[in-house]
Chain A
């Protein structure tokens, strides 16, 4: 093992964005989006290891993550990454499938064999049908096909890094005055029962569990419909608009927000949030 700290490229911009007004700026979809749409996303620094041998890609990832307020270590070699991932405490590890030294799949298997349970997100160059399954079987928690929009990567890292502990079994979800009873499978807002179809319920559940975070179109397609390809029609948009008509339109405060070019987010708008709501 020849890894030394000096070989690591560490970029730390620390927690540089507090106090910035939460906003959904359409132009921010380019070229790097910093998803600061809710107070919840600020101040939750994560330590992320990015294992990627293409210098341009790793720069892109590191820069974006740093700007989003995270700390990002970059390694280019599979063996070095295995060493780091088993020694250091990371919140999320992002791994390219194709790596010099040890390939990403073997690396993650080795990490899991060592008993390390850090969430792993695979970056795969080919959106092949088996690549994802292989990645998940090796112990990965999520996958993303290259080329990816940075907003997509960030949304997924955020979702992974803040996954609630598995032990915590909630029976009700609550966002503002919207409540979901997971046992009776019933949704109410302001005490009014909202009648939802099965898929609409699943869609709302995914959004509520990711409260305040951006849930991308592809994340919804995977989690709600089990679609692992990109439909050419507006499947997500259609169902979101149906859901919105039921949970938002009859009410004054809109909870379901569109993040342009990226996805959706369910949260109480910051301006109308009751005092202290956004505080963690």
Chain B
């Protein structure tokens, strides 16, 4: 069996695609958040620097440089870890106070990159320079705190992304493998069927999901298929048997006739017999072909709206005398007044009811009363052929519709065993259901047609 690997299977690919899309969305939104946060952090840093600068600068009042120098010194002393740097230079550029010597920084904000001379090595600084009474005051703040925060956020995002990716892939694989197992079950069933095990069915979970629904439909189709194949097998076997018997008889007749010609006897009786046999064989074939044609459904194109009562009436008229000559009686009961409009094929319906009446005539003893009736129930029209003859045993009722099936006690009467198959085929074509019921004694064959809608006025 050809099996798709998990990674090439459709469910897994779908799961993976969705996981990737999800992770991508997460990373994108993370990047946006990070950028916004980062911008906000540098703004705050700048603000802090500016505030510190203002505090220091405020100590300079009235040409008194000493206070300013003292403030710078004290601020510088407080920042042991050199997180804050202060520098004060006189207008000539001479270093007056502070914990670092500011290079020639422009006024306003500037960034001191990592490794710039005069600052601690392992960090970069953000600086603000300004002129206080002609002296140059510079305040710088380490960005390490901000950077650390940013790193933490980035790290968090990274781990989250990794976790989500892992979860998505694992979850996808899990779901995909579940679906895959069921697909494998379907594939295995199909392989079994193609190898001739027509009884194989797709296992159902029973939760009513889409795969279950499709599997159920496939199972139903397989059911119909196996019924058909079984029917075909049986028909072939029956045809072989039922045709072999008359063919054997034909051969025996012909051999007897051949012997007779040698001795110069008259063989016209044998020939007549041979002809009858060959006609019977042909009739069987014709009936089989007819059934096949009707079942193919092409005939539906010739459907018209007709009155089922007229069909039944015609049949009653044709067969009443036949029944009488046969020592039986045939009566007919019809719907009062309204008629029985159905959509159908006159010729085929005639044959359907002719077959049913002929069955009753041939399989019932003398004195049997046969009754034809048409009744209307809601939107169904039921035509029934009833008799008070021997009936059909319950367990045989489905079988009599099978092709070439004959009840044991009717094997001696003429007939192909195809009459009721033809009836069923014609009934199916008309969407009619056919039931055999007990009449104690006797049999009722009821054919229930959907009533035709009255033509739109």
Q: B-contacting residues of A (Cβ < 8 Å)?
A: 27, 29-31, 126-130, 133, 145, 147, 199, 225-235, 238-239, 241-242, 261
Residues of B within 8 A of A234 (CB): 322, 325
CA distance A168 to B354 in the complex (A): 36
Chain A to chain B contacts (Cβ below 8 Å), 14 pairs: A30-B272, A129-B348, A145-B286, A225-B314, A226-B350, A227-B351, A228-B351, A230-B283, A231-B354, A232-B358, A233-B319, A233-B322, A233-B362, A239-B321
> Looking across the interface, which residue of chain B has its beta carbon closest to that of A29?
B272
Q: Is the CB of B318 within 8 A of A235?
A: yes
- Asked if B354 and A229 sit within 8 Å, CB to CB, the answer is yes
Taking A226-B350, A232-B414 as contacts, is the C-beta distance between A199 and B289 under 8 angstroms?
A: no
Q: Report the minimal beta-carbon distance from A64 to chain B, rounded to whole angstroms.
A: 15
Residue of A nearest to B354 (CB): A231
| B348 pairs with A238, CB closer than 8 A | no
Of chain B, the residue at the smallest CB distance from A234 is B322
Closest 10 CB pairs of A and B: A127-B286, A238-B322, A128-B293, A238-B321, A232-B358, A233-B358, A229-B351, A238-B325, A30-B271, A126-B289
Taken together as a complex, chains A and B put the C-alpha atoms of A220 and B326 apart, in Å, by: 21
A127 with B290, Cβ < 8 A, contacts A147-B278, A147-B279, A226-B350 known: yes
A133 touches B289 (CB 8 A): no
Compute how far the CA of A134 lies from the CA of B294 in the bound complex, rounded to whole angstroms.
Answer: 15
B299 to nearest A CB, angstroms? 6
Residues of B within 8 A of A (CB): 268, 271-272, 275, 278-279, 282-283, 286, 289-290, 293-294, 298-299, 302, 314, 317-319, 321-322, 325-326, 346-348, 350-351, 354, 358, 361-362, 414-415, 419
Secondary structure of the A side of the interface? loop
Interchain nearest-CB distance for A97 vs B (Å) = 13
Whether the Cβ atoms of A130 and B283 lie closer than 8 Å is no
Bound form: Cα–Cα A242–B414 in Å? 25
Contacts of B317 in A (CB 8 A): 199
B299 CB contacts on chain A under 8 angstroms = 129-130
B358 touches A31 (CB 8 A): no
Chain B: minimal CB distance from A233 (Å) = 5
Residues of A within 8 A of B283 (CB): 230
B272:A228 contact, CB within 8 angstroms: no
CA distance A229 to B362 in the complex (A): 17
Bound complex: CA of A232 vs CA of B363, how far in Å? 12
Cβ of A225: which chain B residues have Cβ within 8 Å of it? 314, 318
**Complex contacts, B272 vs chain A, CB 8 Å:** 29-30, 261
A227: B residues at CB distance < 8 A: 318, 350-351, 354
**Chain B residues in 8 Å Cβ range of A130:** 293, 298-299, 302
Q: Is the CB of A133 within 8 A of B286?
A: no
Give CA–CA (A220, B169) in the complex, Å. Answer: 81
Q: Once the chains are docked, how many angstroms separate the CA of A45 from the CA of B415? A: 41
Give the distance in Å from the alpha carbon of A58 to the alpha carbon of B326 in the complex: 41
